[in-house]
């Protein structure tokens, strides 16, 4: 699956976002870096839906987050601008922190800087083996197609390496996994809960393959009290497919519980 889906979409940047991206691009120029900067995940999704987002994840194709953050401060210092505090969160797989992430605040916006990555899961562990990846590998490892979109800061273009993310977000309004759902949930069964949460949040339907995989034996060990208690408190009015998936995942009957 090479390349991105060709589709004419644009993202309207706020003044803050424009200021931020200008600083980042000036950093590349000043530091003579050949790095491609991509906004990833939730920020891209929300902007395309016309929603504002103040937390931005930026994926780097050839730099660790901490290294690039230092380059940003070098550029700011060269312009007699205040440098920013950098918080580096080291990788810690046991706490689901699989790669180093650098956090800093620039132009009033919170940034998480991390390199593009690919991941593999061993049969006996839910802790992935992480390594540098291509944009396509990074997109395909993500939980859902609507979260796999990139905004390429260098070219000011939206990139859809799964070739389904834009359609699923803007037309189909569906929660779907980039890879086969059974594989995605086998690697990380907690993604079932994320599917339900996103479906309810945006009013999107759940993909039929996703629902079948969510109800399958490999993911049924999810604690019923966790999935049911935390996901049904305020969602009884949401679409039936979401509730069916909750109940199937928790091993509960499809009829509504008695009050």
Domain end residue (candidates: 123, 146, 169):
169
Give per-residue pLDDT as tens, 57-86: 999 999 999 999 999 999 999 999 999 999
User: Treating both helix axes as pointing N-terminal to C-terminal, what angle do 224-232 and 191-202 enclose, rounded to 10 degrees?
Assistant: 10
pLDDT confidence band for 123 (50 / 70 / 90): low
Question: Within 13 Å of residue 241, how many CA atoms lie on the same side as its CB?
Answer: 16
Q: What is the dihedral of CA 182, 113, 51, 150, to 10 degrees?
A: -60
- 112 pLDDT band (50/70/90 cuts)? very high
Half-sphere exposure of 66 (CA within 13 A, CB side): 8
Q: Do 114 and 204 fall within a single domain? A: no
Least confident residue range of 52-66, 163-177, 215-229:
215-229
Q: What is the rounded average pLDDT of the residues 125-129?
A: 62
- Give yes or no: 167 in active site: no
Q: What CA–CA distance (Å, rounded) separates 159 from 157? A: 6
- Asked, for residue 146, whether it belongs to a domain, the answer is yes
Judge if 179 and 72 occupy the same domain. Answer: no
Question: Are 39 and 120 members of one domain?
Answer: yes
* Alpha-carbon span 149 to 132, nearest angstrom: 18
Residue 55: active-site member: yes
Query: Cα separation of 118 and 134, whole Å?
Result: 8
- 160-169, 188-197, 213-222, 242-251: which is most confident: 160-169
- Which one of 57, 160, 167, 207 is the catalytic residue? 57
Inform me whether the pLDDT recorded for 38 exceeds 60.
yes
pLDDT attached to residue 136: 96
The question of whether 67 is a catalytic residue gets the answer no
* 126 and 234, same domain (yes or no): no
* Same-domain status, 140 and 181: no
Q: What is the CATH number of the domain that holds 233?
A: 1.10.110
Both 97 and 124 in one domain: the answer is yes
Domain count for the chain, please give it. 2
Q: Does pLDDT of 107 surpass 90?
A: yes
Domain extent at residue 153: 15-169
Task: Answer yes or no: do 44 and 133 share one domain.
Answer: yes
Phi, psi torsion values for 75, nearest 5 degrees: -65, -45
More confident residue, 245 or 100: 100
The rounded distance, in Å, linking the Cα atoms of 165 and 171 is 10
Catalytic residue, candidates 52, 80, 112, 143: 143
Which helix (H) or strand (E) element contains residue 29? helix 15-31
- The whole model's pTM is what? 0.81
């Amino acid at each position: 699956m090479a390349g991105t889906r060709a589709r004419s979409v644009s993202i309207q940047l706020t003044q803050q976002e424009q200021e931020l991206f200008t600083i980042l691009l000036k950093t590349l120029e000043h530091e003579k870096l050949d790095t491609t900067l991509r906004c990833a995940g939730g920020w891209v999704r929300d902007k395309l839906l016309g929603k504002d987002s103040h937390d931005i994840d930026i994926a780097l194709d050839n730099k660790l987050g901490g290294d690039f953050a230092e380059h940003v401060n070098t550029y700011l210092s060269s312009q007699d601008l205040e440098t920013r505090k950098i918080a580096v969160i080291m990788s810690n797989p046991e706490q689901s922190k699989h790669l180093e992430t650098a956090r800093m605040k620039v132009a009033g916006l919170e940034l998480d800087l991390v390199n593009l990555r690919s991941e593999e899961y061993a049969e006996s562990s839910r802790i992935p083996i992480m390594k540098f990846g291509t944009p396509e590998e990074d997109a395909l490892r993500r939980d859902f197609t609507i979260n796999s979109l990139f905004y390429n800061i260098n070219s000011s273009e939206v990139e859809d390496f799964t070739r389904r993310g834009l359609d699923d977000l803007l037309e189909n309004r569906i929660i779907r996994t980039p890879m086969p759902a059974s594989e995605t949930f086998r690697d990380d069964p907690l993604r079932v809960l994320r599917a339900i949460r996103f479906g309810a949040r945006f009013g999107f339907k759940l993909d039929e393959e996703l629902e079948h995989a969510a109800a399958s034996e490999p993911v049924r060990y999810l604690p019923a009290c966790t999935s049911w208690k935390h996901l049904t408190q305020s969602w009884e009015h949401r679409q039936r497919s979401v509730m069916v998936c909750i109940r199937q995942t928790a091993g509960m009957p499809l009829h509504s519980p008695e009050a």
